[in-house]
Structure 1
Amino acid sequence: MNNTNQHSAYIDILHEELMPAMGCTEPIAIAYAAAMAKKVLDEMPERIVIEASDNIIKNVKSVVVPNTGNLKGIEAAAVAGIIAGDADKVLEVISVVNDDERASIKEYLSSKDISVKASQSGLIFDITIHAYCGDSSVTVQISHFHTNITRIVKNNEVLRMNSDCDEVNMSTKTDRSLMTVHGIIDFAESVDLAKVKEALQQQIDFNYTIATEGIKNSWGANVGSVLLNTWGNDIKNRARAFAAAGSDARMSGCELPVMIVSGSGNQGLTASVPVIEYAKELKVDDDKLYRALLISNLVTIHQKTGIGRLSAYCGAISAGVGAGAGIAWLNGGGYKEIAHTIVNALAIVSGIVCDGAKPSCAGKIASAVEAGILGYEMYKNGQQFYGGDGIVVKGVENTIKNIGRLGKIGMRETDQEIIKMMLEN
């Protein structure tokens, strides 16, 4: 692939991955499917059946659905989409909800027939909403990633069907296999910023705003405030504190949007906020910040490609490593510094589990960002982990490949045990 085509592919990947969302993306995907079902049905459903894969159940169980008055769970997410959702807004589907609608959501939950079933599709990411009113019915299915509507059926008539979809072919439009750390750095340093500036500026504006809200006010476990109160205002501490604070706010129902990365608002926050904080400390211009964010976002996406959208492997780790790469570049690092930062950080924190979306995500984000920064500082001080040290192998691409194998295959049984534990509570 020539340089022009490669740059075009990286631009497409960024625009596919960076998008605005309000709230944790799994319950929002449920709300999106439900809003679409209501739109197609064209009347208020009397009964709803929700089918969800285990990983969806895991990521929706403990998180507050925004704009619902602190309601949690699959049923609340679906009903919010039915009552107040605007399907045309996609992952901002319930960004505008008034008091009457909030009251109607609670009334619907208490008075209507709503049931949740485990999906039998065998897919890791699968949501199906069945909505019924009298003799009319609509089915809407989202599979593989948060905005991918694969099936719409109304009164037994198929309106949309992607029967050959799979995670590799349908979860993204652009081939991720071309991605390399070397290629990412080349792209970030040479791309015409006008082609990516709008999305990156929106990421800066949205993600830093919710991070600041998380620091200023009480949200979740207040991990960011604890970090600042305990270890002070040093840049390394601020970087992880503000990222954690943004997560605490969104996990607890804060009604501010974020720009997601790899289908996750937490990953979007982790990949961006520490880099923004370092850029402020170093007093760099906007263009340098944009290029550092390109490195952070794309290194995050590169790692997640092998792991998949949902896994027992905590996605914030990938984003913390990405942030470390962006911070290394901001400090003058090139390919060698960035590659070693990635390998060092992965050696430290790979294996932290994902047990659903909830306040403890903020603590994991803090650890991931710390590892990203430590990975860079180790290399600056002449220290590194070597091939043969555990899952680290020689070469950054080989280590990233091992991480994909660990997250997708090695932690499959771990994922099932985590889900069993969560459903027992």
Structure 2
Amino acid sequence: MKDLRATLIDILKSEVKPAVGCTEPVAVALACAKAKELLGEEVIKNRILVSPNIYKNAMCVGIPGTDRLGLKIAIAMGLIGGKSEDGLTLLEGLTENQVKESEKYMDTMPISIEPLDTKEKVVIDVRLEGENNTSRVMIKTKHDNFVFLQVNDLVLLDEVDGFAQKNEVQNIERKENIMDTITIQEIVKNVENMDLEDIKFLLDGITMNVNMAKYGLENKIGIGVGRGLKKSIEEGLLGDGIMTEAMLLTAAASDARMGGAKLPVMSSNGSGNHGLTAILPIVAYGRKYPQSDEKMAKAIAISHLVTAYVKNYTGRLSAVCGCGVAASTGASAGIAWLMDGNINHIYGAIENMIADLSGMICDGAKAGCALKLSSAASAAVQSAVIAKQGYSVPPLNGIVGTQVEESIQNLGKVSDKGMQITDAIILNVMNDMNKVK
């Protein structure tokens, strides 16, 4: 077994980060804040271009600190009070006056937002003009990954490799991606051999995400899925077990986050909702069957890394709900490991997840995500529990292959290639309803 611990720890540190607000509009706000800093003066004209998946995910979601929804207010907040040094938590630092000023800016100043004609999942291109200067900022691939910075004619950073003309030959040395070759067993065995000190930061995600869930349970925010489940348990309509606890925590946290609660969550693979789904079902299991800090940290590490493995094939943003097909699969693997650590049990949990929620669509980040996260959390527990009893989907059953890695790759083919037209139609339907032209 290869010793890949250092590489996997680096992935965890890169992909598991605190975030305030839905990641897509926050990423746009981050790019706007950076562009404003480079401009160094008041903005007279702006033009913001984003990939269709960013456009879709940011259209209807609540923004922390305001009751406004969507990209325009996020852009205004980034321009008015955002500090790029704060990364994906930049909206947390805005004062009440800055939020009010941002709302006024949104109402009185023209804000130009256009979807790009690109198949790239994460692309943000912000162009600002002032009285004396211009600036341009690009984020690509990851939500906080700056690839281009320009002030007037001075290019400060240029790591763009995907904006070349279609017919232009590009000789780009591709960095090796360990997720292309690693196996699920290698992920699990390497995590088992990690030192707690190296992954102790993952425990911060429990605190953050549970606090968000508490906020959703204690306040009328979002749809109120978490509060509805809690009341149903209290009235005896639902049983008080691991599955309902996982549903309740994950849904309540999503209620609060999608409703714009100004609290950080620990994200996973560029998504706060992924972080909620990857962590909170494991927390629910830990509440029923208490675990040591080391066991919890390792289970959550497995969850984040399996999530990353699935996302490597489905794409960072896609037509399918990443919480339903990726983060919940990671959570199910983490719960299965906590139960007994048997690799076949973990395989079974993953196969069951792929057979279950593989068709859940993503129609953007919004209040309704709480329902999807509730279903994802329930399925994560169910798949692990059934696999524990020795029951899992057999090979060659639908898209389930002969090995777990093949099953995940098949899921990726369906998601990334098979559902491109679905993604376009989802965006068109949302545009028509919201009269976005």
In structure 2, the CA distance between the partners of 1:235 and 1:378, relative to structure 1 (3 Å rule), is closer
Structure 1: state its 5+ residue gaps: none
- Corresponding residue of 1:225: 227
C-alpha contact (below 8 Å) 2:242/2:381 kept by paired residues: no
Residue 227 of structure 1 deviates from its aligned partner by: 2.0
- Corresponding residue of 1:76: 73
Distance in 1, matches of 2:304 and 2:272, equals 12
- Corresponding residue of 2:64: 66
C-alpha contact (below 8 Å) 1:9/1:174 kept by paired residues: no
Q: Are 1:28 and 2:26 counterparts? A: yes
Length, aligned pairs only: 419
- Corresponding residue of 2:2: 3
Residue 308 of structure 1 deviates from its aligned partner by: 1.2
Deviations 1:85-133 (A, max 9, x none): 0100110111112122122112211222321122245533211111111
Residue 175 of structure 1 deviates from its aligned partner by: 3.2
TM-score by length of 1: 0.94
In structure 2, the CA distance between the partners of 1:148 and 1:165, relative to structure 1 (3 Å rule), is farther
Deviations 1:136-186 (A, max 9, x none): 1111111122011111221132221113259xx999986322432101210
In structure 2, the CA distance between the partners of 1:321 and 1:17, relative to structure 1 (3 Å rule), is same
Aligned letter for 2:219?
Answer: N
| Within-5 A mapping of 1:189-204 | 189-198=192-201, 200-204=202-206
Match of 2:100 among 99, 103, 112: 103
Match of 2:386 among 358, 378, 381: 378
C-alpha contact (below 8 Å) 2:52/2:118 kept by paired residues: no
Q: Structure 1: which 4+ aligned runs deviate by more than 4 Å?
A: 169-174
Distance in 1, matches of 2:119 and 2:397, equals 35
| Within-5 A mapping of 1:18-417 | 18-67=16-65, 69-164=66-161, 175-198=178-201, 200-230=202-232, 231-317=238-324, 318-417=326-425
Distance in 2, matches of 1:57 and 1:332, equals 42
TM-score by length of 2: 0.92
Deviations 1:218-245 (A, max 9, x none): 2211111222323142222011210111
- Sequence identity (%): 35
C-alpha contact (below 8 Å) 1:243/1:273 kept by paired residues: yes
Aligned letter for 1:3?
Answer: K
C-alpha contact (below 8 Å) 2:320/2:415 kept by paired residues: yes
Distance in 1, matches of 2:355 and 2:329, equals 10
Distance in 1, matches of 2:403 and 2:91, equals 44
In structure 2, the CA distance between the partners of 1:143 and 1:266, relative to structure 1 (3 Å rule), is same
CA RMSD of aligned residues (A): 1.8
C-alpha contact (below 8 Å) 1:87/1:93 kept by paired residues: yes
Distance in 2, matches of 1:42 and 1:171, equals 35
In structure 2, the CA distance between the partners of 1:284 and 1:123, relative to structure 1 (3 Å rule), is closer
Distance in 1, matches of 2:413 and 2:117, equals 25
Distance in 1, matches of 2:83 and 2:311, equals 29
Structure 2: state its 5+ residue gaps: 164-171, 233-237
